[in-house]
Amino acid sequence: MTDTSSHTRHPVLGPRALWTGGAILIAVLAAFLLPARLAGSPDAPLLPVSEWVDAAMNWLVRDAAIGGLSLSDVTRALAASAQWPIEALQKLLAEGWISGAGFNKKQILPPASWLGVTLATALLAGRLAGWRLGLFTIAAGTYIATFGLWTSAMMTLSSVLFCVLAALILGLMLGIRAHRSPGIEPTVRAVMNVMQTVPIFSYLLPTLLLFGYGPSAALFATVAYAMPPMVHATVLALQSVPPDTMDLARMTGCSRRQTLWKVELPVAMPRLAIGLNQVVMMTLNMVIIASMIGAGGLGYDVLRALRRLDFGAAFEAGMAIVVLAVLLDRLTQALARKQSAGLRKGRFGRDLLIAGALVLIPTALSLLVPALAIWPKAWTISVAAPLNDAVSFVNQRFYDPLEALRTFALLYVMNPIRDMMQLLPWPVVVATVTIAGWILGGVRAAMTVAALALFIVVTGYWAAAMGSLYLTLLSVLVSLAIGFPFGIWAASRPRTQQAVQIFLDTLQTLPTLVYLLPAVMLFRNGDFSALIAIVSYAVAPAVRYGIDGMLHVPSERVEAAAMAGCSRWQTFRYVRLPGALPTLLLGVNQTVMMALSMLVIAALVGTRELGQEVFTSLSQGLAGPGIVGGLCVACLALIIDTLLKAAAARATQQDRSSHV
């Protein structure tokens, strides 16, 4: 007997839907009859949004006041107040306490010993997560010290610790508030989505205008960029607390505050750890960009090496950022697991005392043996020269085939696609994405994507947006063509998965600017170099979700296919692939987001799209165009995010209904 329940739940498009689709189709056809000013790509803003934003920023900086105090004085005071804890951490970890200046400079106390910090961190890592993480900590500290990057790494760590703490507190507070006030939760979620998709560069100019130049100004830009994941994670974590647990807390007479601190947050700790992990990653991803407005440390080392086209030095400093990111990620995850399982405070307190002694003893001895404080320059190791020689060898030895590949890709693939997308009338594109939103997610999704697309139109950034879209689509297609097959292959080989995961973690934590330099050195500036850099950065989520998609297909479905006599190809085509489709669609979404975030960085190699508009505005000090251009990038990201999430939800629903 045929099961018709799934057809009952998912009816074929009815008369009303057909009438709606017909009306939209008529609107698309009518778009070709519009005047040229509307049917083409608008080259001037229909609304002066950039001018409005410029005027608003000028008013904020010059005229806005709070209680008789100008807003700029308040923000500069906040920057000054944030400066002293960062400087205190930098003195403790990187510089030490110094008196005098110039030839009269004298060090009163040395900074914390690199050996002591490494051993103390290794002890805590071993206690929290086992001996492997302890050994990794020792290897990481040794690498940073022996490559002469310890002082820069400690300066970066000082800023990162403060930024992570600030983003964690603000994200928790805002997430708790949104969870307890369902009326404002959609607004908070929408604002956080926009903040998370606005390019990094767009945060820099308003920060410079309001907070000035320096490490504290970089702090505010970094916190604003890194906070949204913590807000999202807090809301989702608190929503996931079982109702039975909440009922038990009420029955035992817990107050609202006790319920939050004694019940909800401990239960939600594993999910909160995911948000903390994202905060750490995004903070470290911001350190290079923040170095453009005065933040020092490893970010400045990478930026300085990139300006000299010194790929080897940039790679060395970039790998130091990677090991810091991996170490902080593992430590925060292990601490969250221990806290959720019940941390033994007595033993942990004893470990802290031992760790303190491990720091203090080598630091005191460094007064007699300076090498214990800072690794001597004469002993430093460097692989920068061999790496640069390798890139130069490839460039010289394979110049002709590389140039032929670049020319072919530009002339026969990239330029035709770019020109075709630039010629598309904007009403057709807006109507197309609206139809897609309506089919996949209903009226709300259609209205959302239509409003986002029209914002790009009225601000005059349509042509630049099409340039961004063409590069993004090409990069995503190449990333998926590489990442999904490799992920599917790795999913069937458990022994290789751990090595693949380590490699993917390295790719996702390597600073984005490091991807540009080898591409530029091999293929020069332009769209093809940008494509290579974007694919290198965005392929990691495609591989990761390819693995996860295959691993999360229910085993009983695979066993049923085997019992039915299906071949391996049939099992993959009709069982594994449909079961993994929702996860794969989320992987497409994440790949798109990574590609868009890298696309803005790729503006440094001369692309002609929204990222270039934002970067040019930043270099010229134009707040309005820079912010509006960044918002247009966010609109593109949110349009694609809305469509892909709706498609993933639809695929999940259809997959479940087909197996009822």
**Tokens linked to 234:** 């807090």
CATH architecture of 70-96+106-386: Orthogonal Bundle (1.10)
* Tokens 């999910």, residue located: 271
Provide the Cα torsion 214, 218, 219, 224; round to 10°.
150
Check: CB of residue 437 under 8 Å from CB of residue 642: yes
| pLDDT class of 476 with cuts at 50, 70, 90 | very high
Burial class for 64, CB neighbours closer than 10 Å (0-12, 13-18, 19+): middle
- Paired strand residues for 2: none
Q: What's the confidence (pLDDT) of residue 24?
A: 53
| pLDDT class of 137 with cuts at 50, 70, 90 | very high
Q: What is the per-residue pLDDT across 150-197, written as a single tens digit (0 to 9) for each? A: 988 888 888 888 888 888 899 899 988 888 887 888 888 888 888 877
Q: Where are the domains of the chain?
A: 70-96+106-386, 398-426+460-658
Rg, Å, the chain Cα set: 27
Residue (of 566, 621, 432) closest to 25 by Cα position: 432
3-state secondary structure 197-209: HCCCHHHHHHHHH
Q: What is the per-residue pLDDT across 316-359, written as a single tens digit (0 to 9) for each? A: 888 888 888 888 888 877 777 766 555 555 566 777 788 888 88
Is 50 exceeded by the pLDDT of residue 630? yes
**Does residue 459 sit in helix, strand or coil?**
coil
Task: For the domain made up of 398-426+460-658, give the CATH fold.
Answer: MetI-like fold (1.10.3720)
Q: What's the confidence (pLDDT) of residue 37?
A: 46
**Tokens linked to 188:** 């908070």
- The DSSP letter of residue 295 is -
Q: Given this chain, do its domains 70-96+106-386 and 398-426+460-658 carry the same CATH topology? A: yes
Q: What is the per-residue pLDDT across 64-100, written as a single tens digit (0 to 9) for each? A: 777 777 887 888 888 878 778 888 888 888 887 777 6
Q: What is the per-residue pLDDT across 218-235, written as a single tens digit (0 to 9) for each? A: 788 888 888 888 888 888
Q: H/E element holding 33? A: none
Q: What is the pTM of this model?
A: 0.78
* Tokens 């391996």, residue located: 568
The residues, ordered by sequence, that sit 6+ positions from 474 with a Cβ below 8 Å of its Cβ are 413, 414, 417, 531
Residue (of 15, 36, 41) closest to 469 by Cα position: 41
Top-confidence residue, 175 or 208: 175
Q: What's the confidence (pLDDT) of residue 217?
A: 74
3-state secondary structure 471-525: HHHHHHHHHHHHHHHHHHHHHCCHHHHHHHHHHHHHHHHCCHHHHHHHHHHHHCC
Top-confidence residue, 256 or 656: 256
Q: Answer positive or negative: Cα dihedral of 193, 195, 196, 202.
A: positive
Distance CA 469, CA 424 (A): 12
Is 50 exceeded by the pLDDT of residue 11? no
Distance CA 540, CA 480 (A): 10
Check: CB of residue 149 under 8 Å from CB of residue 298: yes
Residue (of 23, 150, 149) closest to 438 by Cα position: 23
